[in-house]
């Protein structure tokens, strides 16, 4: 390949190792990119909706993941193509921002690309298509704003929230007990939500899983669950009204950072050193005891001797607790993390009504429950399930449900799901298209077509006739001028999504449209791909 | 324009029908692999490890077999996983769960070829599983109130579990042992307290349950071999060189005499420690860590039995059994709780010496000594006994029991069949398929015993048409018989776990419509 030639036809060398690179340019580059983007979207297309199928992914180390979550599938797919990577990023950013609709956004982008290809064949310049898409997306987002409804709920009446979370969960494998899981998710979010500021810090919700039991055993713990046990097997397994000292210093003699040596050259020194060492341990334990702690949680390990001293003075202790967990415990119990024994004071202790150790199944795995905390802001969702894959998938599903509940608390505008929002947007965009003079009109119409592909995929996955169903719903929407009709995926018998209680958050939907448009615009603007050729 | 490669070089992607085929075949292959081990006349498998020494395991336990396989098929991995979980959670039924899941998938495959959508099959399976569970719940027997009956239930369950294992010859003996051991636990499911010691030699029948506690260690030289009314201090402390733990400390001397002095001081320190330990007024000292010769000698001088290097579990158990606390500092002898037992003595099993603690305070723990011809036999015996213990300890908590010998499957199949008849729509095919899959289990049991399965199962089905029938397959006589009379019982919890996890796994595999295998991670060749 060559970029430029002199008058004798010899190539100028411009790129390093030019002859080892391949280059695609112009319409070929766009076509190739679109093909790659479409290929990724096609993989996810069958996972959309409540009847969507799962994907089984075998990782590089032979580990198996079974998932229905778009972001997870793409992340684990380990793609190599640059454009495919863009799509992965797209799904990931939807995941970070909203947490739900990660499959939808990719399907949407794929449809936009497909339509763009058609316009390219007509000879429309890619930039004009991109601009048309941009206008169309604006129309769609504004339209969504108009049809959005306020969603009423409060702390005592959280039923509507549960319904929304159930919609999210119904597309996952856990839909067998979606009701209880949705309730758990909503209760967890409400427990940590700051309703005045309309904010939810999801970091305060810890999702912990343990293989065994069944999905129905999943529970919400108003407190913290730590995958650790007491440092000494004979310490009490249950502490009521615990005062917790949260330490980040080891129960060991201090290790100064500066290099030093303690030289022993006489017997006396040996003796004093020994005494001092014993005193260290004694003092440490005594300090904890003095401030009134009844439980010590430490980030580091204990020396055997310290361990026994603790046990001896009736001071239960937990060792090797991770940093994140330590912080959560501190938040939950209202304690302070203490980096040195000298700084321990009674005010810095955390308080919890009940700390207990619980063992599971026939193996000797134990976990520590810290409940009835002083500041009950931190909660834990403890998932049980038949196998590891199930738990991982449940974790992801719960995460989605949590995100949805959070978004509703942040902004309680909703639009109706089941493709209803896409269909009404498609109608609005189509109507708006005629107002634009110029080539963009075609691109805007293409956008409307692309919007139709989401309900189409939903219908297809539910085993319905896609075109027939879509056109029926569309005509119903126009005839009655109500934007709530969608695809009846669960075969309930009505297309009215209000009755089916299927809705999504407004910001989630808007974000989907905006993100998908942005990525497609980016892909369309690329007209030259230079890559290392195979060697 | 060819589509660019999306995945990395060695990755592969399988879609739609092909993906489903791959996972069905993988799962069924695994199920067929363990199928022949099911039931009292099931066969064993030899597993040879690829590791050093090519060690050989002979086993009949589904979980063990599957754990040792190297599997590449992702669907097969799901089955291996459920079997592992079944093992962890209830301990038994590890083969049944895989066989049932395999049968469910085999039936599903037929339905998929008949153009029924997997989601419809899943919906049907779910209804069927729910109905099957209810059917079992209706027929459970609960003898919790009646202690004597409960014990006989447990005995029967243990015998049923053991009869498919290597211990079947002496199943009564072992069942008795297992039930006794579990009763000592008094409702806790912590099997740690039951110690199993394997000693080759003798025959399986020579195995016994010991009320006390046996530690697989030797008594130090020159120390008493027998102590009555022992006071035991259980410790976890360094008895070699008790090093200075202050960071950066080191010994720097300038002459030989000083070395000697320091050494003297060190010795003095150790002596101090030993004296402190002795001040507890003990006559037996058990340490988790090494005891060097010097302190050992000191202990011997004081007439104290010192046991070194008891492993962590040993220490924990000993603490549990004797009621002593595990100590690491020895400054306040008056407040340390010592352990007590009536008698410590050295006993011989085969040609090994063991330390036996009898007459212990807390009767919770006990030891089971297994004897057998070879290591393979002992390993398998341990696994079998472990299964029985797991099931029993779970049954103590959830005392509902069922009959065995294919009876629960037939009961479930009958109810599920009825449900299929009542259900309208395509789901009824899936429900019917579920009942067929359930019947496959008694069929397999009969097949493995070399019986005419078709004949027997048909007979069984006819018998079950009568309300309240107790008929099951009696493998010993090779005919349909009354399971209650034969005393073949199973725990409800095990059956329920088998049913639910098998359905869950089948559902999971059915939902998949695409398999993406990532490129294997490149490992540098380490020569």
Instruction: Please give the residue of chain B at the shortest CA–CA distance from A33.
Output: B4
For B265, the enclosing helix (H) or strand (E) is helix B256-278
The token pair at A116 is 């763009």
Looking at the DSSP bridge assignments, the partners of residue A355 are A239, A370
ipTM of this complex: 0.72
Which residue of the set B95, B423, B443, B503 is catalytic?
B95
Which residues in chain A have their CB less than 8 angstroms from residue B250's CB? 261-264
Burial class (CB in 10 A: 0-12, 13-18, 19+), A279: exposed
Condensed to tens digits (0 to 9), the pLDDT of residues B161-199 reads: 887 777 777 788 888 888 888 877 766 666 667 778 888
The token pair at B413 is 């199949």
Q: Which of B1, B2, B4 to mutate to test the interface with A (most CBs of A within 10 A)?
A: B4
CATH architecture assigned to A19-150+416-532: Orthogonal Bundle (1.10)
Number of Cβ within 10 Å of residue A263's Cβ equals 12
Residue B286: pLDDT band (50, 70, 90) is confident
pLDDT for residue A136 is more than 90? yes
Which of B99-103, B275-279, B375-379 comes out lowest in average pLDDT? B275-279
Closest by alpha carbon to A398, among A410, A385, A386?
Answer: A385
Looking at the DSSP bridge assignments, the partners of residue A297 are A246, A318
Which residues in chain B have their CB less than 8 angstroms from residue A361's CB? 88-90, 189
How many interchain CB pairs under 8 A, A with B? Answer: 236
The bridge status of strand A379-385 relative to strand A219-221 is antiparallel
Contact A514, A18 (CB under 8 A): no
Domain boundaries, chain B: 10-139+401-515, 145-202+376-397, 212-361
Which of A12-16, B33-37, B310-314 comes out lowest in average pLDDT? B310-314
pLDDT for residue B8 is more than 80? no
Homologous superfamily in CATH for domain A223-375: GroEL (3.50.7.10)
Which residues in chain A have their CB less than 8 angstroms from residue B66's CB? none
pLDDT for residue B245 is more than 70? no
Q: CATH 3.30.260.10 residue ranges in chain A?
A: 152-222+379-411
The DSSP-derived string for B172-213 is HHHHHHHHHHHHHHTT---GGGEEEEEEEBS-GGG-EEESSE
pLDDT for residue B336 is more than 80? no
Q: CATH 1.10.560.10 residue ranges in chain A?
A: 19-150+416-532
Q: Which residues of A are catalytic?
A: 69, 102-103, 400
Name the percent of chain B lying above pLDDT 70: 88
Segment A334-355 shows an average pLDDT of: 82
Q: How far, in Å, CA of B215 to CA of B286, rounded?
A: 10
pLDDT at B523: 61
pLDDT for residue A417 is more than 90? no
CATH architecture assigned to B212-361: 3-Layer(bba) Sandwich (3.50)
Name the percent of chain A lying above pLDDT 90: 10
Cβ-based neighbours of A508, under 8 Å, separated by 6 or more: A98, A100, A101, A404, A407
pLDDT at A229: 79
Q: Which of A48, A53, A113, A173 to mutate to test the interface with B (most CBs of B within 10 A)?
A: A53
Taking the CA of residue A54 and the nearest CA in chain B, the distance in Å comes to 4
pLDDT at B520: 74
Number of Cβ within 10 Å of residue B358's Cβ equals 16
Segment A127-149 shows an average pLDDT of: 91
CB contact under 8 A, A304 and B238: yes
* Tokens 């397959």 sit on residue: B473
Nearest by CB to B88, from A173, A359, A363: name it: A363
CB contact under 8 A, B326 and A232: yes
Contact B231, B286 (CB under 8 A): no
Q: How far, in Å, CA of A304 to CA of B326, rounded?
A: 10
- Percent helix, strand and coil across chain A, each to the nearest 5: 50, 20, 30
Q: How far, in Å, CA of B482 to CA of A55, rounded?
A: 46
Contact A374, A224 (CB under 8 A): no
Closest by alpha carbon to A264, among B425, B165, B224, B250?
Answer: B250
Nearest by CB to A66, from B5, B7, B512: name it: B512
Q: How far, in Å, CA of B387 to CA of A48, rounded?
A: 43
pLDDT at B361: 65
Q: Span A152-222+379-411: which CATH code?
A: 3.30.260.10
CB contact under 8 A, A270 and B265: yes
Q: How far, in Å, CA of A8 to CA of A2, rounded?
A: 14
Instruction: Please give the residue of chain A at the shortest CA–CA distance from B72.
Output: A62
Q: Is B387 a catalytic residue?
A: yes
Residue A2: pLDDT band (50, 70, 90) is low
List the Cα angle A135/A137/A140 in 5-degree steps: 115
Which residues in chain A have their CB less than 8 angstroms from residue B265's CB? 267, 270-271
Nearest by CB to B6, from A36, A56, A259: name it: A36
Report the mean per-residue pLDDT for chain A: 82
Which residues in chain A have their CB less than 8 angstroms from residue B262's CB? 264, 267, 270
For the whole model, what pTM was predicted?
0.79
- What is the length of chain A? 535
Taking the CA of residue B319 and the nearest CA in chain A, the distance in Å comes to 8
Closest by alpha carbon to A319, among A336, A286, A297?
Answer: A297
CATH architecture assigned to B145-202+376-397: 2-Layer Sandwich (3.30)
A2 vs A344, which has greater pLDDT?
A344
DSSP state of B373: S
List the Cα angle B276/B280/B282 in 5-degree steps: 115
Q: Span B10-139+401-515: which CATH code?
A: 1.10.560.10
Closest by alpha carbon to A432, among A445, A421, A423?
Answer: A445
Phi, psi of B18, deg, nearest 5: -65, -45
Nearest by CB to A386, from B320, B504, B518: name it: B504
């Amino acid at each position: 390949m060559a970029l430029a030639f002199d008058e004798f036809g010899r190539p100028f060398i411009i790129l390093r190792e030019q002859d080892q690179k391949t280059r695609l340019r112009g319409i070929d580059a766009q076509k190739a990119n679109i093909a790659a983007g479409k290929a990724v979207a096609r993989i996810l297309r069958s996972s959309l909706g409540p009847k969507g199928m799962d994907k089984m992914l075998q990782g590089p180390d032979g580990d198996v993941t079974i998932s229905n979550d778009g972001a997870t599938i793409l992340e684990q797919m380990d793609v190599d193509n640059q454009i495919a990577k863009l799509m992965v990023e797209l799904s990931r950013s939807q995941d970070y921002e909203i947490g739900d609709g990660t499959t939808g956004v990719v399907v949407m982008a794929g449809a936009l690309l497909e339509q763009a290809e058609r316009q390219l064949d007509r000879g429309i310049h890619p930039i004009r298509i991109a601009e048309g898409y941009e206008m169309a997306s604006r129309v769609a987002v504004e339209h969504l704003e108009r049809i959005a409804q306020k969603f009423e709920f409060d702390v005592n009446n959280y039923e509507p929230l549960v319904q929304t979370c159930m919609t999210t969960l119904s597309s996952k494998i856990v839909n067998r007990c979606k009701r209880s899981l949705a309730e758990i998710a909503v209760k967890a979010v409400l427990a940590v939500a700051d309703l005045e500021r309309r904010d939810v810090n999801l970091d305060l919700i810890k999702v912990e899983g343990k293989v065994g039991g069944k999905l129905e055993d999943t529970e919400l713990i108003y407190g913290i669950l730590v995958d650790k046990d007491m440092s000494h097997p004979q310490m009490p397994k249950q502490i009521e009204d615990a005062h917790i000292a949260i330490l980040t210093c080891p129960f060991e003699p201090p290790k100064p950072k500066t290099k030093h040596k303690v030289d022993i050259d006489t017997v006396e020194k040996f003796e004093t050193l020994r005494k001092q060492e014993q005193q260290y341990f004694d003092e440490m334990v005594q300090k904890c005891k003095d401030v009134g702690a009844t439980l010590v949680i430490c980030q580091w390990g204990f020396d055997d001797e310290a361990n026994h001293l603790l046990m001896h003075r009736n001071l239960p202790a937990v060792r090797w607790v991770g940093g994140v967990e330590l912080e959560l415990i501190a938040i939950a119990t209202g304690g302070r993390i203490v980096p040195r024994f000298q700084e321990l004071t009674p005010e810095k202790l955390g308080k919890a009504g009940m700390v207990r150790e619980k063992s599971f199944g026939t193996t000797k795995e134990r976990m520590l429950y810290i409940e009835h905390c002083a500041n009950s802001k931190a909660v834990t969702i403890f998932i049980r399930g038949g196998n590891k894959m199930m738990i991982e998938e449940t974790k992801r599903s719960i995460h989605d449900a949590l995100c949805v509940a959070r978004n509703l608390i942040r902004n309680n505008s909703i639009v109706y799901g089941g493709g209803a929002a896409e269909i009404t947007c498609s109608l609005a965009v189509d109507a708006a298209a005629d107002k634009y003079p110029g080539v963009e009109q075609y691109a805007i119409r293409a956008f409307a077509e692309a919007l139709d592909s989401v309900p189409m995929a939903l219908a297809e996955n539910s085993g319905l006739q896609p075109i027939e169903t879509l056109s029926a719903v569309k005509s119903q929407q126009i005839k009655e001028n109500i934007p709530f009709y969608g695809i009846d995926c669960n075969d309930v018998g009505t297309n009215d999504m209000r009755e089916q209680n299927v809705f999504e958050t407004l910001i989630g939907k808007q974000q989907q449209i905006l993100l998908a448009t942005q990525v497609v615009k980016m892909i369309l603007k690329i007209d030259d791909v230079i890559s290392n050729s195979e060697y | 324009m060819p589509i660019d490669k999306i995945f990395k070089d060695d990755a592969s992607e399988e879609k739609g029908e092909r993906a489903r085929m791959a996972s069905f075949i993988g799962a069924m292959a695994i199920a067929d692999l363990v199928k022949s081990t099911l039931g009292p006349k099931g066969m064993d498998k030899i597993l040879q490890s690829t590791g050093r020494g090519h060690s050989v395991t002979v086993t009949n336990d589904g979980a063990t077999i599957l754990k040792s396989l190297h599997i590449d098929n992702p669907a097969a991995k799901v089955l291996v996983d459920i079997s592992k979980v079944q093992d962890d959670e209830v301990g038994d039924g590890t083969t049944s769960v895989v066989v049932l899941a395999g049968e469910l998938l085999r039936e599903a495959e037929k339905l998929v070829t008949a153009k029924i959508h997997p989601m419809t099959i899943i919906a049907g399976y779910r209804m069927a599983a729910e109905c099957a569970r209810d059917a079992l719940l209706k027929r459970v027997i609960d003898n919790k109130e009646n202690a004597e009956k409960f014990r006989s239930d447990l005995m029967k369950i243990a015998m049923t579990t053991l009869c498919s294992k290597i211990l079947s010859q002496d199943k009564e003996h072992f069942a008795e042992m297992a039930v006794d051991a579990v009763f000592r636990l008094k409702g806790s499911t912590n099997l740690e307290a039951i110690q199993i010691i394997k000693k080759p030699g003798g025959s399986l029948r020579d195995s016994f349950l010991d009320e006390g506690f046996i530690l697989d260690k030797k008594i130090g030289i020159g120390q008493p071999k027998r102590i009555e009314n022992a006071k035991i201090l259980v410790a976890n402390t360094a008895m070699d060189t008790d090093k200075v733990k202050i960071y950066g400390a080191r010994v720097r001397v300038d002459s030989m005499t000083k070395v000697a002095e320091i050494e003297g001081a060190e010795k003095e320190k150790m002596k101090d420690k030993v004296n402190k330990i002795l001040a507890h007024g003990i006559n037996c000292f058990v340490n988790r860590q090494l005891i060097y010769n010097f302190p050992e000698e000191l202990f011997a001088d004081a007439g104290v039995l010192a046991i070194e290097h008891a492993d962590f579990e040993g220490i924990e158990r000993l603490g549990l059994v004797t009621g002593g606390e595990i100590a690491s500092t020895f400054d306040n002898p008056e407040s340390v709780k010592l352990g007590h037992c009536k008698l410590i003595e050295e006993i011989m099993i085969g040609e090994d010496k063991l330390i036996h603690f009898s007459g212990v305070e807390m009767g919770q723990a006990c030891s089971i000594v297994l004897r057998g011809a070879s290591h393979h036999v002992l390993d398998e015996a341990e696994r079998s006994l472990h299964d029985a213990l797991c099931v029993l300890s779970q049954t103590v908590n959830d005392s509902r029991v069922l009959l065995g010998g294919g009876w629960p499957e037939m009961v479930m199949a009958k109810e599920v069949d009825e449900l299929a008849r009542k259900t309208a729509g395509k789901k009824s095919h899936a429900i019917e398929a579920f009942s067929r899959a359930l019947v496959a289990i008694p069929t397999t049991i009969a097949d493995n015993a070399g019986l005419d399965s078709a004949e027997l199962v048909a007979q069984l089905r006819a018998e079950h048409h009568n309300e309240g029938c107790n008929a099951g397959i009696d493998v010993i006589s090779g005919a349909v018989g009354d399971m209650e009379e034969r005393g073949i019982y199973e725990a409800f919890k095990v059956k329920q776990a088998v049913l639910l996890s098998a359905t869950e796994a089948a559902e999971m595999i059915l939902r998949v419509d695409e398999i993406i295998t990532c490129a294997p991670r490149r490992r540098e060749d380490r020569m």
